[in-house]
Amino acid sequence: MIRRLIKKVFGKPARPAASGPRIIPLGSHGIRREHINPCALKTTRALSEAGYSAFVVGGAVRDLLLGLEPKDFDVATNATPEQVRQVFRRSRLIGRRFQIVHVYCGSETIEVTTYRAAAPEKEAEREAEEDDDTRVAAADGMLLRDNVFGSQEEDAERRDFTVNALYYDPDKEEVWEWHGGVEDAKKKVLRIIGDPNQRFREDPVRMLRAARFAAKLDFHIDPATRAPIAELASMLERIPSARLFDEMMKLLLSGHAERGVRQLRAEGLHHGILPMLDTILDHPERQKFLHVALHDTDERVRHGHSASPAFMLASLLWFDMQAAWARNRSRGQSDQPALYDAMDDVLERQRDLLAFPRRFDGTIKEIWSLQPRFEQRSGARPFRLLSHPRFRAGYDFLLIRAKGGDAAQELADWWTRFPDASDSEREAMLIKPQPGESKSKRRKRGPRKTADGEAAIEVKLG
């Protein structure tokens, strides 16, 4: 009776696989061979001709069922990585925890994975015989290493969500499913495979993936899947910071960042995952700026433009940098040294927390250092700024600041008109020096106080 009540309240876990897959014909799913990437077709065909089974798997099948255009086409096979390498001359082994093969086809790369073995609880007797290069689990159930191969049924059981455990056979144009993923896709339900508590303990990042997929696909998370998230959220603290950074960038640059951040907050996953995000979400007056930055990034992705991790990081860390700059100036540093010290300090502090790559530093610093220069609208300075290689990125950042209430809209409008104006119009737009002010003297304003008492930067730099 108690079990029935729990199921009624929390829903049901993904049903275990039957004795074989449910095979869905073309007439019931509508995915035709021509919908598949040609390089993925060549890959599955070559593996089949070599005597192996090969399916297009995961997100590509899910997206095609939902009428979306897949970003990637991955292949799963019963061939081991070494056997895949023997089939494809242009290929490369990737990874340590679970080796995959990158098959190169023209300018494209097809990721080929070998079927993984069943979940640890089904393999207790096998683990005693495995060496250090196979599966290792911590005392709390978190998987540390996994190099065990298995069948397609086992592989389906090891995948995270039912809608990602779908296999498409291009030869027969059939979809094979083991856990009801097609039905869940139709109902827009995100359901984890197996026991949610155990699966999240095995890999806590699955909780972040649940939030990301729910936002990306506009799915609702199955109640049984959601139930243990609040209790287990602290396990994310054990995840290497570089992996957390990668997962958060996937969310923030997915084209659904605004909805994704809301989903993180709804699941209680936002605190501590991305410290730079906490500093904004914990200050209501900064949230408008964040939502504008996320919305504009989402729009870029939806219109087929690239989204820059450096630009997103510049947005998330902008308020921290402003506060550090103001502190440096209050200690007697002059404007420019105070700015560059603030940029270095903020980036190094965040790198210790999140381990984001140094290759983004240059772009972030240029975007930030250009902001005071937009205030300078007299003489030759606007013309010099137009020729700066990062002008467009700095200008886009200025627009976000204006929409988010951090810069004057008049300033953003001025810079929107200036680049395309005629020479005579540009001359008329230039701001004349104030009476009594020498051309060489730079006008400075004291820092404007924000709602939380921090000083916002409105100084003029050369």
Any catalytic annotation for residue 74?
A: yes
Amino acid at 207: M
Q: Which of 63, 74, 296, 406 is catalytic?
A: 74
- Measured distance between the N- and C-terminal CA atoms of the chain, rounded to whole angstroms: 74
Q: What share of the chain is helix, strand, coil (3-state, %, to 5)?
A: 55, 10, 35
Nearest by Cα to 73 from 47, 117, 38 = 38
Does residue 90 contact residue 103 with C-beta atoms inside 8 Å? yes
Measure the CA–CA gap between 165 and 178, rounded to whole angstroms: 7
pLDDT in tens, the chain (462 residues): 444 443 433 444 454 555 689 999 999 999 999 999 999 999 999 999 999 999 999 999 999 999 999 999 999 999 999 999 999 999 999 987 678 999 999 999 999 999 998 755 444 333 333 333 444 455 555 544 455 889 999 999 999 999 999 999 999 999 999 999 999 999 999 999 999 999 999 999 999 999 999 999 999 999 999 999 999 999 998 888 888 889 999 999 999 999 999 899 888 887 767 667 777 777 877 889 999 999 999 999 989 888 899 999 999 999 999 999 999 999 999 999 999 999 999 999 888 777 788 999 999 999 999 999 999 999 999 999 999 999 999 999 999 999 999 999 999 999 999 999 999 999 999 987 655 444 444 444 444 444 444 444 443 333
Neighbours of 4 (CB within 10 A): 8
Q: Kind of pairing, strands 54-57 and 74-77? A: antiparallel
What pTM did the predictor assign?
Answer: 0.77
Residue with tokens 């209501």: 284
In CATH, the architecture of 17-193 is: 2-Layer Sandwich (3.30)
Q: What are phi and psi of 189, to 5 degrees?
A: -115, 130
- 3-state SS of 179-245? CCHHHHHHHCEECECCCHHHHHHHCCHHHHHHHHHHHHHCCEECHHHHCCHHHHHHHHHHCCHHHHH
pLDDT score at 253? 93
Amino acid at 343: M
- Per-position b or e across 322-359, b if 16+ CB within 10 A of its CB: bbbbbbbbeeebebeebbbbbbebbbeebbeebebeee
pLDDT score at 143? 46
Domain ranges of the chain: 17-193, 310-433+440-456
pLDDT score at 322? 95
Neighbours of 292 (CB within 10 A): 20
Any catalytic annotation for residue 160?
A: yes
Question: How far apart, in Å, are the Cα atoms of 138 and each of 99, 145, 195?
Answer: 21, 10, 18
Residue with tokens 């995840």: 239
Q: Which of 63, 155, 160, 335 is catalytic?
A: 160
pLDDT score at 131? 35
User: Class of the 310-433+440-456 domain?
Assistant: mainly alpha
Measure the CA–CA gap between 135 and 130, rounded to whole angstroms: 7
Does residue 324 contact residue 342 with C-beta atoms inside 8 Å? yes
Measure the CA–CA gap between 306 and 297, rounded to whole angstroms: 9
Q: Which of 72, 195, 203, 361 is catalytic?
A: 72
DSSP 111-144: EEEEPBPPPGGG-HHHHTT--TTS-EE-TTS-EE
pLDDT score at 79? 97
